[in-house]
Amino acid sequence: MNLVRVWGVCSERKHQLLVYEYVENGSLAMFLFGNNGLLQWDQRYKIAVGVAKGLAYLHHECLDWIIHCDVKPENILLDEDFEPKISDFGVAKLLQRDQTDPNVSKVRGTRGYAAPEWAFNIPINEKVDVYSYGVVLLELVTGSRVSELRSNGYGDSEAVLRQLMWTIVEKLKYGGQSWSAEFVDPKLSGNVEHMQVSLMLEVATMCMEKERSQRPTMNDIVEKFQTLSCN
């Protein structure tokens, strides 16, 4: 189900421990932004689909409603087959499906991945995870942190990000067959499946809608990936 498994729990006096399964290849961040080697395109696409399935399970298949609240490459671990495992539920929230808890708004995701509604101190829902997932998709495609827009001399990062989203939407409409190549990590040397790249960029723009009601559910996203696989 693309979640890190808990093998054991220890609670003795002041000591509280969780024992997790060992995930061999470390975090996605170590590959995208560190020195763990180059992820090929098929691996990146596999990770995108797997994380979507993991979040869909948390949002739609659990008895209660689980919001991770901190989806980012550091919290996505890769096993020996590069199957992704969502980890670090330290700020996750468990809610009944008919429950609204105003205290949830006091949690904060990581800057660069946090949805805009965090800033308004309102009760959040699972769409904050959807937004963060969209950021991760962009980083899988480009191989760069979206948050680096804040420090590259381009001015207001939010405005630059919105311009990037607008450009992708326009390219989706009018860009032709290989428009997505300009957004792809140059280290891949063009060795990608352009239909998959286009789909990931399209889903990213949907996930990163400023108005959360316009964002898809994670089930919607999984269905889009499955539709492409069937074609």
> pLDDT > 70: what percent of the chain?
89
What is the value of pTM for the model shown? Answer: 0.91
Quick: pLDDT tens for 53-109.
999 999 999 888 899 999 999 999 999 999 999 999 887 887 766 665 555 656 667
The C-alpha atoms of residue 210 and residue 47 are separated, in whole angstroms, by 25
Spans of all domains in the chain: 46-72+92-230
pLDDT band at 127 (very low <50, low <70, confident <90, very high): very high
> pLDDT > 90: what percent of the chain?
57
Using an 8 Å Cβ cutoff, are 28 and 78 in contact?
yes
65 forms bridges with which residues in the sheet? 95
Tokens 């990213």 correspond to what residue?
204
Using an 8 Å Cβ cutoff, are 19 and 10 in contact?
yes
Q: Specify the higher pLDDT residue, 172 or 206.
A: 206
pLDDT given at position 104: 61
Q: Answer yes or no: is pLDDT of 221 > 80.
A: yes
Quick: pLDDT tens for 145-169.
987 765 554 556 677 788 888 889 9
Q: Which CATH code fits 46-72+92-230?
A: 1.10.510.10
* DSSP H or E stretch at residue 69: none
User: Hey, which residues are catalytic here?
Assistant: 70
Helices and strands (DSSP H and E) totals, the chain: 6, 6
Q: What is the rounded average pLDDT for all residues in the chain?
A: 88
DSSP 132-154: HHHHHHHHHHHSS-GGGGGTTT-
Q: Nearest-5° angle of CA 130, CA 157, CA 188?
A: 70
